[in-house]
Amino acid sequence: MSLPSFDEFRRDALARGFDEVIERRWEPGTVVERHTHPFRAAALVVQGEMWLDGRRLVAGDTFDLEANVPHDERYGADGATYWVARKN
């Protein structure tokens, strides 16, 4: 599997109307209890392992969350990194 570069991901996200693109790195074993965000998020996991509402995600997997949708997150033994486009 070949992942895009961060620049390619960013360019594509901005072209789709997102207004912010960042890299998020999470420490091993981090748990983020149920919460919401005031923005839509579309992300690509690029390293590690995470669970989003119980769904396991690894490098190459994507997720999309609308604004204000409650969710929880848990990160694996090696942590995780994902690139996320946000639409505020």
Give tens-digit pLDDT for 19-78.
Answer: 999 999 999 999 999 999 999 999 999 999 999 999 999 999 999 999 999 999 999 999
pLDDT of 85 over the 80 cut: yes
- Whole-number pLDDT of residue 28: 98
Q: How far is CA 41 from the centre of its chain?
A: 7
Q: Look at residues 27, 47, 40 and name the one whose alpha carbon lies nearest to residue 67.
A: 40
